[in-house]
Structure formats: C-alpha cells, structure tokens
Amino acid sequence: MSTEKKTKEIEKTDIYQEDLKYLETAVKTAWSRYSGQGKTEKKGVKDLVTDADFAIENYLIGAIRERYPEDSFLTEETNTNERLSGRTWTIDPIDGTINFAYGIPLYGTQISLFDGADLALAMIYLPAFSEMYTAVKGDGAYLNGERIYAAPRPFIESIAASGGFSMSPELLAQQKKLIAVLPEKIMRMRMFGAACAGFAFAAAGRIQCFITATKNKWDICPGILLAREAGCVVSGVDERCDVEGDFIIVGANEKTCDTVCGLLTE
C-alpha cells in the first residue's frame, strides 16, 4: 500500500472514530429520554413493538442527519425497504424488544455504517449493563473503550448461544436437530433472545459460539463487524452481510465455527 493510500485510510479511520463518539452520546441520550416503554403493540403473531422503539429510532435518524444530511438509512421500524447505496446507516433501535417489554435485560441498540462497499463501523449498546461496544473496520473491537478479543476454548469447554427459535418451520427443524446434539459436545448452550447480546458476548470472549437465523441487516451488520474485529470467524454471510445460507455462525476460532457448521449439515 502506498504512503498516500495509508494516510487516507488513517484519516478515514479517525473520522469513523469521531462518528462513534458522536453516536455514543446520541444513543445514550435517546435511552435516557425514551426508554420508558410506553405503549406496547403486536407487530406480528409472536412479535412486539413499543413506543420506545419508534422514539429511539427517530431520534437517532435525526441525530445522524444533523451530521450527514445526505446519508441513507435502513432501519427496523421506519425504513425497512431501503437498499444499501452510497453511505447507508443500519439502525435497530431496540434489538430484543420482547426481552425489553418483559423486563429481561438482554436488549440493546445496534448501528452500523456502510460507506460504499465497506462495512465501516459498528456500535452495540446494552443499556442494562452500561456496555458500549464499538468497532471500526481494521481498527479492532472495543468495550467501553477497552480492546476486546475472542476467547477460544476446547470445544467441550465452550459455551454456545442462539438468538432464538426461528418462525420458519424448516429452520426450526434444523435448530431442533442442532439442539439435540450440541449440548452434549460443549459446556453449556444458552438462548439470549437478542442478536446484539450474542454478537457482543462472542466478541468479548464470554461465549465461544453464536448462532442466528435472522437475515435483517439491522440485526446482523453491527455484530458481524464487531465479532470479526475481535478475532471471531463469521460464516454464512458475504462482505455486504447478505446471508448465503440458513444460519450465521460466529465462532471464537475457525475450528469452532467449522464444527458447528458440520453439525448443522449432518
């Protein structure tokens, strides 16, 4: 890489880090103002949405537009059909809304930025734990400003987690098959009900594997970048977070990832 190109990459990284500082303030402000749950409504047969989801999302869109008025948004509640083009922000205002609505502390806000073809930055905020996870492509993963890393263990000593059961009968059948064989091969299996917790805990080395069947970019893009920057191996998605199979597998190392993938395809 030429000296000029290196300089430009460093400048971009510095800008993205400044963006993360700005977002950290915006996200914490949104939660302090709007985390009173308010009204809860059904979003589907087995899904919920709260007033806080809409209020936090709208606040964050407004905050980003103040800084980047020309940018686009792909968000869970109000911009669900936008395509990735130019600079596009993905926002999940409350990932794990059912946990949030029921008082289970595994929920959080997820944000990422696609700058052209690059998944450039990511943020996951878990307010119940006061944990702010951040990553810039090529610059590592951080928890409250401290560098974090994946923590591989022997497979029998590993903890694996799932986001939740799929609503698809076909995917649910595969999950049941995996659950029938995986627990006897590892230390424990957990179910968080929120992708934000699974990705974040894998990046922080608290679990060695996370498995999810979701394909929504606002659910997966922040966690994919965070996990990769922490040294995790992520399978089942391409560079633009398009899901290539039925499941995304996050492993603390390649062996863990390959072992779980093998169990899913047996």
pTM, two decimal places:
0.94
Tokens of 163: 């986001």
Q: Which residues of 92-121 are buried (b: 16+ CB within 10 A; e: fewer)?
A: bbbbbbbbbbeeeebbbbbbbbbbeeebbb
Pick 256 or 7 by higher pLDDT: 256
Domain with CATH 3.30.540.10 in the chain: 3-148
Q: Hey, what CATH class is 155-265 in?
A: alpha beta
Q: Which of 116, 136, 149 is nearest to 23 (CA)?
A: 136
Q: What is the pLDDT of residue 164?
A: 85
Enumerate the CATH 3.40.190.80 domain ranges in the chain, comma separated: 155-265
List, in sequence order, the alpha helices (H) in the chain. 3-34, 51-67, 97-102, 169-181, 195-203, 217-229, 254-265
CA distance 72 to 172: 34
Query: Could you tell me which CATH number the domain at 3-148 has?
Result: 3.30.540.10
Encode pLDDT of 21-56 as tens digits.
999 999 999 999 998 867 887 776 677 889 999 999
pLDDT at site 85:
78
Matching residue, tokens 């911009």 = 79
Within 10 Å of residue 54's Cβ, how many Cβ atoms? 18
